[in-house]
Amino acid sequence: SVSHSQITRLYSRFTSLDKGENGTLSREDFQRIPELAINPLGDRIINAFFPDGEDQVNFRGFMRTLAHFRPIEDNEKSKDQNGPEPLNSRSNKLHFAFRLYDLDKDDKISRDELLQVLRMMVGVNISDEQLGSIADRTIQEADQDGDSAISFAEFVKVLEKVDVEQKMSIRFLH
Amino acid sequence: QWATIRLQKGAKKPQPQMPRTPTANGIIERDETPMEKEIALLHRADFEFSHIFYFCRKGFEAIVEDEVTQRFSSEELLSWNLLTRTNVNFHYISLRLTIVWVIGVIVRYCFLLPLRFTLAAIGITSMIVGTTVVGQLPNSSVKNYLSEVVHLTCSRIIVRALSGTIRYHNKENRPQKGGICVANHTSPIDAIILTNDGCYAMVGQVHGGLMGIIQRATVKACPHVWFERSEIKDRHLVTKRLREHVADKSKLPILIFPEGTCINNTSVMMFKKGSFEIGGTIYPVAIKYDPQFGDAFWNSSKYNIVSYLLRIMTSWAIVCNVWYLPPMVRKDNEDAVQFANRVRSAIARQGGLTELPWDGGLKRAKVKDTFKEEQQKNYSKMLVRNGSVG
């Protein structure tokens, strides 16, 4: 699991972001990070820290969300076959990404939900029509059961060749 | 890991500092693959579900550690220098270390602080008195000479009061009259560090209180450029006054800090282009403090000026290197922004600081939406270029 020094550093980071000094972070605290504020998916990422519709996240919640990004090789050290699947398993990383698309949490990515994410990523630079056909094509290629929406299983299948572990991991230097 | 540093008490002559490359003090490995490369690596070129991984990871990396907000707080040291203020994760190591630290506290607060405070008081008083006296004289070369003497002497007293050890490099490039001196900004002390070695015309806002008294006194002896608060807002007015000053070749070089705010001395942030539109010769100066002896950075959102000065006076010393860089002039084919960036690179390279394209104003203000729009534009270009759209 996470080392002591990593926890200390992350706690240090948490407190430096916590301008209100009340032990929790609000959405504004995240938006103060310039590199995050200019990220097209910034708002969705920030939302991931507030899963239950609350406005504040404490350090525990902060760590829980960050835990999805631990490199998978960390799990080699603590093989616990009987315990719950660790947050940073390939499957859970994929689930995390799936939830970034699936706003209404119905376990399906609908055409609208896909369009929303696409629109966030391209801004004003692509017309509705073009974007619509991109979305249609993407769904068509991944949709296997013909319901014009992407379930989690279909999502996983599309990404089976992608190195999720590498793309969705953050490595600590010490 | 916590190597105890035994500083010679009252060390005034440390080893000469070579400009060091910025230490990788980060906590996470940043993947610097540009968007185009990473997203185009996927075998198909249209939109893929996996494209969000790039933005997602970048977002989380920024949450754990970002390049900008860390510049607005003090640099973390790799090894402790016996000041609790620089020890973010303070925990008890050993009895011996604690005893050493306690001795350090006693020395700093009971011995060094009163000494320094007295010296500073002497320095400031003589500055006010001296410049007022000189200010009474009619304008002449004698007055200028005396003004220089007063400024230099008092500046030297104040630097001693801070236990400052400054090494000036390349003195042949020292700013000349009629020029503009440009430096990176870490603290209000920067100005005193520079005036220790030469006379400048200061530029700044009129303050109240003790600072205001100093400003009013010194401006009689020497043509500093003090602006009222209302005048600062008018950029044209500011540029005009500075231009007039520079045009007069007999006037002392102006001292400007184009970052506009204090940065923590690990990087140089965006330079405001205003100073580079005035014309004239720019004399860049790089100032790098040695953080082992004391933290010079003024975190104005955390500490006010008085507690800042207290911290400075209870540090071990202020040790810094000042490099005078060769003068630069704006080329015909570059605009003010490009010129500003060129000067900034030279300063960053010399001082061993990283260059950041971000505005120091982000300390207080939100980032402009144009940056996000740029990211969106880049991504769109890739989609449309590669895929068969529509």
Enumerate the β-bridge partners of residue B227. B205
Q: Is pTM beyond 0.80 here?
A: no
Domain around B229: 166-362
Segment 56-75 of chain B within 8 Å of chain A by CB: 56-69, 73
Interface contact A170-B61, CB threshold 8 A = yes
Task: Name every chain B residue with its beta carbon within 8 A of the beta carbon of A162.
Answer: 42, 50, 53
B52 exposed, middle or buried (CB, 10 Å; 0-12, 13-18, 19+)? buried
| B76-128 pLDDT per residue, tens | 766 666 666 655 555 666 777 778 878 888 888 888 888 888 888 888 888 88
**DSSP assignments along A58-123, one per residue:** -HHHHHHHHHTTS-GGGGGGS--TTSPPPTTSHHHHHHHHHHHH-TT-SSEE-HHHHHHHHHHHHT
Nearest to A38 among B64, B73, B367 (CB): B367
pLDDT (tens digit, 9 = 90+) per residue, B44-73? Answer: 456 778 788 888 888 888 888 888 888 887
pLDDT at position B231 over 80: no
What would the pLDDT profile of B160-170 be if each residue is shown by its tens digit? Answer: 888 888 889 88
Q: What is the mean pLDDT of chain A?
A: 85
- Report the alpha-carbon distance of residue A23 to residue A73 in Å, rounded: 31
Q: In what order do the strands lie in the sheet with B282-289?
A: B164-169, B318-324, B282-289, B180-183, B254-256, B201-205, B225-227
CB of A158 within 8 Å of any CB in chain B?
yes
B69 contacts on A by Cβ (under 8 Å): 16-17, 32-34
Strand partners, B181: B255, B283
B59 in a domain, yes or no? no
Work out the percent of chain B whose per-residue pLDDT is above 90: 4
CB contact under 8 A, B358 and A34: yes
State the DSSP H helix or E strand holding residue B246, giving kind and residue range, or none if neither.
helix B235-247
Domain annotation for chain A: domains and CATH numbers:
4-68 (1.10.238.10), 90-166 (1.10.238.10)
What is d(CA B292, CA B67) in angstroms, rounded to the nearest whole number? 22
In chain A, what residues touch B1 (CB-CB under 8 Å)? none
Q: A134 and B383: CB-CB below 8 Å?
A: yes
Mean of per-residue pLDDT scores for chain B: 78
| 3-state secondary structure at position B157 | helix
Please tell me if residue B28 touches chain A, with a CB cutoff of 8 Å: yes
How confident is residue A82, by pLDDT bands cut at 50, 70 and 90? low
Q: Quick check: is B323 in a domain?
A: yes
Residue contact B47–A118, C-beta within 8 A:
yes
- Rounded to 5°, the CA angle B373-B67-B382 comes to 35
Query: Of residues B282 and A2, which shows the higher confidence score?
Result: B282
Q: What is the largest CA-CA distance in chain A?
A: 51
ipTM of the complex: 0.88
**A38 contacts on B by Cβ (under 8 Å):** 367, 371-372, 374-375
Are the Cβ atoms of B372 and A171 closer than 8 angstroms? Answer: no
- Mean pLDDT score, A151-165: 87
Q: Looking at the partner chain, which of A41, A138, A158 has a beta carbon nearest the beta carbon of B59?
A: A41
CB B64 within 8 A of CB A10: yes
Is residue B51 domain-resident?
no
Q: Tell me the nearest-neighbour CA distance from B266 into chain A, angstroms.
A: 18
pLDDT digits (tens, 9 = 90+) for B136-168: 888 888 888 888 888 888 888 888 888 888 889
> How many domains are contained in chain B?
1
Q: A105: distance to nearest CA of chain B, Å?
A: 17
Residues in B 353-382 with any Cβ partner in A closer than 8 A: 358, 362, 366-367, 371-377, 379-381
Is B51 within 8 Å of A155 when comparing Cβ atoms?
A: no
Within a domain: B95: no
**Residue B20 pLDDT greater than 60, yes or no:** no
Residue B197: inside a domain: yes
User: Residue B146: inside a domain, yes or no?
Assistant: no
Q: Nearest chain B Cα to A126, which residue?
A: B380
CB–CB of A125 and B68 under 8 A?
Answer: no
By mean pLDDT, which of A29-33, B202-206, B373-377 is the weakest? B202-206
